[in-house]
Amino acid sequence: MNAFLGTMVGHSVGANARQRGKHHHSGSIIVMVAIFLSIVFILASSIDIGYVFYMKRDLQKTADLAALAGALQLSTTPPAGNPTTCAATDTAVLAAIGNAQANGFATAAPNVMSNSITVTCGRWDPVANAAQAPNYFAAPIAGAKLNAVKVVVVQTVPAFFGLGSRTISGQAIASGGSPYATFSLGTGLLSVCSGVSPLLNPLVNGLLGSNVCLSAATYNGLVGSQVSLLQIINNLGLNVGTLDQVLNTQVTLAQLINATVQALSPAQMANINIAELANLTTGALGGTLLKLGDILNVNATDGIAALSAQINVLDLINVGTLQVANKNNLIDLGANIDLGALGQVGLQLKLIEPPQMGVGGVGATATSAQVRLALNVNALLGLVNLPLFIDVAPGQAQLQSLQCTAPKNATFKITTGVAEVCLANGQTGMGAPFSCPDVSKPANQVAVLPLVSLGINASLTSPDTNATLYPPPPAGVPPDGPSSKLVGSSLGAILGGILQPGTFVFGGLLSLLNPLLITLGAVLNPVLGAVGALLDTTFLSLGLGVGQSTLNLSSISCGDVKLVY
């Protein structure tokens, strides 16, 4: 009996154990299925999210490339006039859309992903558009030009797994610096070895306090040397953050020359004699302070881009040297014009305004040196003493247009030979330029003889000249055209025809002779023409841009297009 009960209990216990095992295995399968489904869901979601991110990255690439294409077209072919945005038919808009389509972003039917692209032209300017941070993009302010293209692309992406879709977008802004050029007018002082000229030696010594002499090899080496303006600024060690701070920085002439020499390549250094340039860096000459903004006339609209310009070394040193000369007073030229029995004419000269190089886009200007000439006419055994002053205005070259397509070139308007001849009371060598008073008033006339007075106030102008120049090519490459042009008119011709009605006024006993001045011009004009011819020769040798000036184009840059947002 007991054995039977034991057997029955054993069978019952085994059945219960087997039942519990079945329930245990069923629970394990459910857990495993749940884990598997979770993993599948996570993987699917990850693939879905990764697909969206992949599509968004691809869409952003499309926006980037389209913006770059539009900005490049905008910089090379800007819309006519000065609009505040681009029209749908403008080349910049069409270039951006065409680039997006070429990269597979179709907007034409069947447009299953609802693709759309919006192209907007504007101006990227971190200063003027600071309120639009972080993209600094807005319509240009008055006077500014379009320089950037913004592209927004939108696309509907279906989910890789599951239902529904996602709308993604990409945005990019590309900006291209406006085209700019670097050029100079009539800055050739260092082309003369003053030590071999009895006329120029005292002049250069008087202007600079030093005898400047460059050999032909060094001069030719500097003529062909171009350096980066930014590299010069870096070599000067300037810790400045804005364009205005750069232009307002003062450096010595020695620092400027040393920073420029450091920017030369080894090949350029091999063509010059550094010892000759060292003459400009020693003594009072080298220690004279200059302001960079006085040397470089940077177009403010394109200033930041223009600071990356390539600049001619000789032009930069010439202009800096004449800035030093501007700090000196009248000097004696050491030359007299012998009028025979009539007397003599003594000459003195002072730089009133130094030259400036032009750096910038359309509208940028370069000027040559403005001088004041004092002519002391002593005639008729000392009975006539005429203190005559001539203010010769700077020649000016203004950039009118730039062509970025091959061949690159720049067109300039050049004005030279503008002067004022003054014989009046109160005029001195230190007076303000173009300050000659009204000589029709007797009080302003100079007493040249007892009871005889004379006043001269003659304004002389030369017509504008247009010139198209081409940037110098790299070594071994033939030029597309001239990179310099001699412009202007002759002071000999201008002064030779100076005697015109109303420009010369007699007072006192000779006031009745005023109507006869035209006849007297036949006698006096040749004398003044001789003075002008001497000035032509002197200034042409000095490169001071009086009567005749040389316009030099150093470089043209059409701006680098880059993504800015």
At 216, the pLDDT band (50, 70, 90 cuts) reads: low
Question: Is residue 432's pLDDT more than 70?
Answer: no
Give mean pLDDT, residues 286-307: 69
Segment 377-423, tens digit of pLDDT: 777 666 676 778 877 766 788 999 988 878 999 999 987 766 777 88
Question: Is residue 123's pLDDT more than 80?
Answer: yes
At 451, list the tokens: 């009871």
* Cα–Cα distance, 205 to 203 (Å, whole number): 5
Are the CB atoms for 535 and 345 separated by under 8 Å? Answer: no
* Residue 97, pLDDT score: 92
Question: Is residue 1's pLDDT more than 60?
Answer: no
Question: Is residue 462's pLDDT more than 60?
Answer: yes
Of the spans 53-67, 106-120, 404-418, 518-532, which averages the highest pLDDT?
Answer: 53-67
* Residue 145, pLDDT score: 81
Residue 534 vs residue 320, higher pLDDT: 534
Give mean pLDDT, residues 196-203: 48
* Cα–Cα distance, 370 to 416 (Å, whole number): 11
Q: What is the mean pLDDT of the chain?
A: 75
Task: State phi, psi for 407 to the nearest 5 degrees.
Answer: -85, 135
Question: Is residue 361's pLDDT more than 70?
Answer: yes
* Residue 241, pLDDT score: 58
* Residue 447, pLDDT score: 82
Segment 61-74, tens digit of pLDDT: 999 999 999 998 88
Which positions ≥6 away from 75 have C-beta within 8 Å? Answer: 147, 176, 177, 178, 179, 404, 558, 559, 561
| DSSP state, residue 218 | H
Residue 356 vs residue 198, higher pLDDT: 356
At 304, the pLDDT band (50, 70, 90 cuts) reads: low
3-class DSSP state of 210: coil
In sequence order, which ranges of 87-215 are alpha helices (DSSP H)? 91-102, 200-208
At 284, the pLDDT band (50, 70, 90 cuts) reads: low
At 72, list the tokens: 């490049």
* Cα–Cα distance, 108 to 121 (Å, whole number): 23
Q: How many CA atoms lie within 13 A of 513 on its CB side?
A: 14
At 444, the pLDDT band (50, 70, 90 cuts) reads: confident
* Residue 137, pLDDT score: 92
Segment 254-282, tens digit of pLDDT: 888 888 888 888 888 877 777 777 776 77
At 191, the pLDDT band (50, 70, 90 cuts) reads: very low
At 196, the pLDDT band (50, 70, 90 cuts) reads: very low
Question: Is residue 146's pLDDT more than 70?
Answer: yes
At 303, the pLDDT band (50, 70, 90 cuts) reads: low
Question: How many separate helices (H) and strands (E) can be counted in the chain?
Answer: 15, 26
* Residue 138, pLDDT score: 92
* Cα–Cα distance, 183 to 319 (Å, whole number): 12
> What percent of the chain is modeled with pLDDT above 70?
68
3-class DSSP state of 48: helix
Give mean pLDDT, residues 108-116: 76
Q: Where are the extended beta strands (E) located within 82-185?
A: 116-124, 137-138, 148-158, 165-176, 180-185
Residue 86 vs residue 195, higher pLDDT: 86
Write the single-letter amino acid at 203: L
| DSSP state, residue 110 | S
